[in-house]
Chain A
Amino acid sequence: MADEQNNGAHESETAYGRFHRRVLEGRAAVFAIATTVAISIGGIVEIVPMFSASLGPETIAEVTPYTPLEQAGRDIYVREGCYLCHSQMVRPMRAEILRYGEWSRAWEYQYDRPFQLGSRRLGPDLHRVGGKYPDAWHYEHMRDPRATSPGSVMPAYSWLLDWTTDPADVTASVRALSKLGHPYESTDEEWVRGQMQSQGETIVANLAQTGIETSWDREIIAVIAYLQRLGTDGRRVLEARETAQAEEADAADDTRTADASEVSGAGGSR
């Protein structure tokens, strides 16, 4: 019966079989320790170097954390499970760059908690969606995806137009994130509320131009702020680097201008 299986059906004893039987199979504690060691090595070798500057993902100073309104939008993105249909990772492949734009760099994600790379593209990648469409497009798209994108299979997210964000709640997020090292100017609720309102009112004003009436505290405003931010740090930094490189090349060519080697620093402040 089943308990005979310690004998292989047809085998003779081997040295390692005897060793395994004597040292491991008879001692649960030894077996448990050996198993723990076996399953730990791979994780340690792969994960620990992630915290080293040279082996881990690159971080750069030019990228700033999400503003309180953008972070609120990101939390809504998380809540609705957007990552289950939309990736945020443009791969360094020709077709992806043509379809979405610059491929994604590690430092673009340095303030992403949790990461939202996604694993499935039921809809298109969103990592370079920031600035691709006007605010009003996103508003209409969330209200009725088929209004802007005929044939879309995305559900409508019309409640985002009605539900409101709560600055007190967003402040709790900002405080937790600042504990994790995200540099925020302040973690006071007044400051958070002020930031949300001023950034939100800009979006409200944009929407008003196409006749959409809403207010800065609607969830849709936070979502738009987040989506419009996506991928823009990367684009800005990469463009600045390109400009710097071009200027450097010009300067090298131009021997008559003595001060042309002055190269603008990569990226401005946001």
Chain B
Amino acid sequence: MDPDRTATQPATGAAVTPVYDDAVVKMFFTATVVWALVGMLVGVIIALQLAWWPANLGLPWTTFGRLRPLHTNAVIFAFAGNVCFTGIYHSTQRLLKTRMFNDTLSRIHFWGWQGIIVAAAVTLPLGLTQAKEYAELIWPIDVAITVIWVVFAINFFGTLARRRVKHMYVAIWFYMSFVLTIAVLHIFNSLAIPATLVRSYPVYAGMTDALVQWWYGHNAVGFFLTTPFLGLMYYYLPRAAERPVYSYRLSIIHFWALVFLYIWAGPHHLLYSALPEWAQTLGMVFSIMLLAPSWGGMLNGLLTLKGAWNKLRSDPILKFMVVAVSFYGMSTFEGPMMSIRAVSGLAHYTNWVIGHVHSGALGWVGMISFGMLYWMVPRIFGREVRHPTWVSHHFWLATIGIVLYTVAMWAAGLMEGLQWRAINDAGQLANPIFLDITARLEPFLWLRLIGGTMYLVGAIMMAINFWQTIRGSGRPVEAAARAA
């Protein structure tokens, strides 16, 4: 065997065991669980508002228009963001066999990020927003995000610089693309001229603003909800399965193809719009190509279980991860299909898009996160999970919840899309009254609410389980097991 390769193998029983900073991992872990509940609860509330409008409560601060950005920001930047940081701070130290570069920077990163989330939770219900999807936060918070991201980047690259292994494992590549790309996206999409402390106007106008925003928006999906989570998959799935990753070659090809192709896909959000035709076509073509590297990642994850499929029967953590990777494959098939101009013509503006987003967010991001958190608890808190059976219950609640959610949204989306466009024999709209179609959506909206609530209940069970575990009623992990 090439000796170079063995350099990245674990120094089992090595003389020097680096002391890792797991305190910051625990902080991010706790924040993850708290924000998961907040973000998902707001999601359930706004789902209720769509099914039953009086739930808007007649107050300015609680209308759908103000709470929806709170939901998206909370689940993306608070829940998923803290998941990424938990996993990155935990796995990077172990993969590079060194402590994080600087403990103070780690804490500034942690508290800065939580402060940003709290600021978002205060400003969004107050109607302080830039009204660009997933980039709603007002300019002073944008500045804070930039500063904290630079702190994170210094800490991350500083850790890389003092690593004690020669070669960086594939998870690190994905983390690196996350750190770099989010910085580029955030800075260029947020360029604006302030009018007051809470209001600003973007330097881009009209369709240019739309293109820059969806370049950002789609790559927030690509580089905030995909690449870091693929990195987490590459570390935690092989760990949980106790199998090496299926293919090193595939990981090289799909990494570079993914990061190169993703960035082009934004204009698929603007098909049939007034965006210049050439840009729409580029967005569509690259979105379709994106299927290949996405499935490369899915296959590399799933085939890692080759020879270990029997473990799926008994291990709920692996179940979470395998379902996550399967949903990743499904939604990265659906996405390119929806980017085809003709399909977009039907799906755009409908609930179908909401269903698609949630099969990615609940199915991929949520499930891989839960798998990682359950795997991590005994290893960083030193206690076995208090209620092992609840892990299984959580898995089934979440899985059935997602299925109800996406099926309801597919049905609602197709119905809306078809009824909006239906033309009768006289050449007139078959459903001239928009609200007639809205009324027909109601049963699907209730079904979606049930699915989402099941998902939330699962997350609450997880939180209680962790709380009781960490508070001391979990059985201590045996030292030998912990070292593993």
Contacts and interface: CB of A to CB of B under 8 A. Distances in A.
Nearest to A171: B195
B368 to A, nearest CB: 15
Contacts of A11: 247-249
Interface string A47-82: 101110001110000000000000000010011111
B184 A39 contact: yes
A119 B349 contact: yes
B201 A113 contact: yes
B95 interface: yes
Contacts of A253: none
A153 interface: yes
A249 B68 CA distance: 52
A169 B168 contact: no
A108 interface: yes
Contacts of B386: none
Contacts of B133: 119
A104 B273 contact: yes
Interface string B331-373: 0000000000000010011100110000000000000000000
Interface stretch (B79-87, B262-270, B320-328): B262-270
Contacts of B283: 46
Contact of A39 (B263, B276, B306): B263
Given A28-B161, A154-B53, A95 B420 contact: yes
Interface stretch (B21-29, B144-152, B238-246): B238-246
A83 to B, nearest CB: 6
B446 interface: no
B278 A55 contact: yes
B260 A81 contact: no
A269 to B, nearest CB: 21
Nearest to B51: A153
A157 B62 CA distance: 11
Main secondary structure of the interface of B (DSSP, over half): helix
B64 A85 contact: yes
Contact of A1 (B10, B64, B204): B10
Contact of B206 (A46, A57, A80): A57
Contacts, number: 321
Interface string A79-102: 111111101010111111011000
B473 interface: no
Contacts of B132: 114-115
Contacts of A20: 252
Contacts of B256: 38
B392 interface: no
B193 interface: yes
Interface in B201-229: 201-213, 215, 223
B272 interface: yes
A155 B64 contact: yes
A151 B435 contact: yes
Contacts of B30: none
A99 B209 contact: no
A32 B178 CA distance: 11
Interface stretch (B109-117, B123-131, B452-460, B463-471): B123-131
Interface in B411-470: 416, 420-423, 428-429, 432, 434-436, 438-439
Interface of B: 1-2, 4-5, 8-10, 49-50, 53, 56, 58, 60, 63-66, 68-69, 94-95, 127-133, 157, 160-161, 163, 166-170, 173, 176-177, 180-181, 184, 188, 193-196, 199-213, 215, 223, 234-236, 238-239, 242-250, 252, 256, 259-264, 266-267, 269-270, 272-276, 278-279, 282-283, 286, 304, 306, 345, 348-350, 353-354, 416, 420-423, 428-429, 432, 434-436, 438-439, 484
| A-B CB proximity, top 7 nearest | A81-B65, A109-B206, A5-B245, A155-B56, A42-B264, A42-B263, A176-B195
Given A38-B259, A94-B421, A115-B207, 5 more contacts: A8-B248, A46-B279, A114-B130, A173-B196, A176-B199
6 contacts: A35-B176, A35-B181, A39-B260, A108-B206, A115-B205, A121-B350
